[in-house]
Structure 1
């Protein structure tokens, strides 16, 4: 984005059952193409736990008895295709076996990040709108246009609605990021809308867990990927991987991961100190707590470094360094969009050449601060102990791929395609529905009670999603 653009307009959903049916029909082919059939990689199997419960909810929804929203875990970019497979293949099969007649196709409305079509292309905007999707402007405190559209569909749409309450992918199948309160608030608004319309349907929120596993641990592929990252970081090559000598291999791989993390932290700390022309202790007070220890804990160093990167970007836009990391990232994304998609320049063609060039300067200047934010964005859920607690192939892979994202972004690769390490299995778990209607008596008593009810429902949903992790 080196040139200023007109304001970002809201893209209304234009659900087309023809497009939905076509997407369901080509899904197996798309999965094969996406997973590169000539390579031993991709999603080999998608299974569902408690799919029967979701089939019964669809039956009650189509009978006009309930309205429900599915709040799903969002660890990977493959999640939408996994969920589409659930709706198009697994649920209809379960319904047939149980002799439950459902109106097909089974599908949902959904919210997606407004920024997705900006990097994927306008075709995605067209497709998502025809699949019943609505964009939400995450960086805005309240995107009322998207909120009103979602509220209308939740109460009156012909299909349920699906939302990722974490707000974005976190790259971890076994960590649930802090949830945003929007899902809970939408639930209470739906109860309110139904009561105003004198409708008695129950409002439910259904937690959906999404998790990925490697049926065959991809140790050799991880060895090669780490070798690429080590070469990019200037580290000497590790001893060659011997698949026959499995004893102690996990320990050796973990030692390499630690060495790689140390090199990346050292390099990035030196970069930010030099880039900002100030000692790190001045850039982030957290750094001062780490001095004097030759081997400080990686998690503390990482959090301090993320704080430095965000402060660097926030200083450019004049934003206060307050809030959690995810919240600060959203504010910076919005600031970058404000300077690139200018709402104050409604008619760009009417600008003088000088005004146009100056507006382009502003858009260009926003690129680097947003890059700092993108580096941080991938590390929101990284704890520093994720692999050590359970050194499984999945946790090794997730952490190494996050490091791959970091190195690729620094190398200037736009939307780097992650390497496929091996065949994976997706496990989709349907949790017990949470009744929002039963909580209405507390919610509507006062504003403070409403805030507490939203917080309590958000917390209960967080726990429900965490319980779905296998």
Structure 2
């Protein structure tokens, strides 16, 4: 973004059944090709567990007995398509099999992050709006309009609502990122709104896990991707002989470690030399243990902290909270420099003032790129691949490295990831969590409410973690 823009306008939801039917009709094509017909390596199969839970909940919802929110895992950008499959295919099929009578369409409103439209285009805003989506600015301290609309939909809409409580993709099917407290807070607000209206529906949160795996282990494509990354980094490209193909995980793991070590060293030097950052020494006890994975993670966390400080210093922000909190604050600070709420019509500015506004916007965008690098590795751990060296975990980690390198090379738009092979998705619906019960226990004072929201968020996190382990 090299030019200042007008403020980000709120896009109200305008659910249109015709658009929903079109999306449902196109779903098989979107799953397999994702709008890239020259790369047929999308999702070929989706398995759903416990869809009957949602079928029964929809029946109770339509009977006016419950209100519920679907809190789904968000590892990949394909998750919304899988959720559409769950509601438009799996739930109706199970309902028919079990004789559960439902009113159609079986669909949901959903909350999406307003920033998605910045890289996807305005057409996506129209599409989401007509599918029943409502936007929220995740980094904004108080997005009153977004919160009010989502809160009203949860309590009063003719369909339930769906939210990704992690707030963003983390690229890991086997790791649940820290959850943002908004889902639990929306649940408490919904109970309050129903109580004020003298309504007796029970409020529930339904955890839903999404995981992806390859139909066939893509070791050959992984070798190609790792070779590309090695070449991009200026490292010698590893050549695998025929005798080494029997145990590819033993060959590829050292390559991942070498790439990680090289990139960390390069980025540490980059921030020390050009941004004059001092890197704190690694803990002596950690170095004495000599565990390469632990040392790499300590260096990664130090580097993430340094990158965020570079951006925070520019925007005059104090480091507060975890890495995710800091990323959100930086995102909002950057947007305030690019999407100018203090200017009614950016195109009406005199040329000199417009030039200064563009200058500020370009600088803000550049500073936000430090934050984007941190976001890329927000869920990375030192043991994710080692503890379970599956082709999926190798691929997830290699693709994150691809994203990181691509961000440094491309100043305009992140290039599409390489397709490594056909994938299959597993959707697991968990047991609903009663918000109404927990709300009743937290009404003594405001502190009790905050504690209640925190505990509910932890319980939801544990439920999602349990679902991806089963």
Q: TM-score, normalised by structure 1?
A: 0.95
CA distance in 2, matches of 1:361, 1:37: 38
Match of residue 423 from structure 2: 424
CA distance in 2, matches of 1:165, 1:332: 19
1:326 to 307, 313, 324: 324
Match of residue 48 from structure 1: 48
CA contact (8 A) 1:286 1:304 kept: no
CA distance in 1, matches of 2:37, 2:149: 39
CA distance in 2, matches of 1:317, 1:353: 25
Q: How does 1:145-164 map to 2 (within 5 A)?
A: 145-164=145-164
1:440 deviation in Å? 2.2
Post-superposition CA distance 1:134-169 (Å, at most 9, x none): 111011122121111111000100100000111111
Post-superposition CA distance 1:63-91 (Å, at most 9, x none): 11110000000000000001101111111
Match of residue 76 from structure 1: 76
Q: How does 1:96-111 map to 2 (within 5 A)?
A: 96-111=96-111
Post-superposition CA distance 1:294-330 (Å, at most 9, x none): 9671100100111111111111111112221011111
1:290 deviation in Å? 9.4
CA distance in 2, matches of 1:352, 1:16: 41
Match of residue 449 from structure 1: 448
What residue ranges of structure 2 are gaps of 5+ in the alignment? none
CA contact (8 A) 2:33 2:41 kept: no
Match of residue 361 from structure 1: 359
1:38 deviation in Å? 6.5
Post-superposition CA distance 1:243-266 (Å, at most 9, x none): x74444211110111011111111
Does 2:245 correspond to 1:263?
Answer: no
Match of residue 408 from structure 2: 410
CA contact (8 A) 1:35 1:42 kept: no
Post-superposition CA distance 1:412-439 (Å, at most 9, x none): 1612211111111100000000011112
Match of residue 199 from structure 1: 199
Range with greater deviation from structure 2 (151-160 or 209-218): 209-218
RMSD across aligned C-alpha pairs, in angstroms?
1.8
Against the structure 1 CA distance between its residues 207 and 452, is the aligned structure 2 distance closer, same or farther, given a 3 Å change threshold?
same
What residue ranges of structure 1 are gaps of 5+ in the alignment? none
CA distance in 2, matches of 1:308, 1:241: 40
CA distance in 1, matches of 2:40, 2:188: 46
SS at match of 1:68: strand
CA contact (8 A) 1:36 1:42 kept: no
CA contact (8 A) 1:109 1:132 kept: yes
Q: How does 1:9-48 map to 2 (within 5 A)?
A: 9-34=9-34, 41-48=41-48
Against the structure 1 CA distance between its residues 437 and 43, is the aligned structure 2 distance closer, same or farther, given a 3 Å change threshold?
same
Does 2:412 correspond to 1:385?
Answer: no
Against the structure 1 CA distance between its residues 288 and 468, is the aligned structure 2 distance closer, same or farther, given a 3 Å change threshold?
closer
1:380 deviation in Å? 0.6
Does 2:284 correspond to 1:299?
Answer: no
Match of residue 466 from structure 2: 467
CA contact (8 A) 1:321 1:328 kept: yes
Post-superposition CA distance 1:442-466 (Å, at most 9, x none): 1222101111111111111111000
CA distance in 2, matches of 1:183, 1:146: 14
CA distance in 2, matches of 1:39, 1:353: 44
Aligned residues: 465
Against the structure 1 CA distance between its residues 292 and 214, is the aligned structure 2 distance closer, same or farther, given a 3 Å change threshold?
closer
Match of residue 343 from structure 1: 341
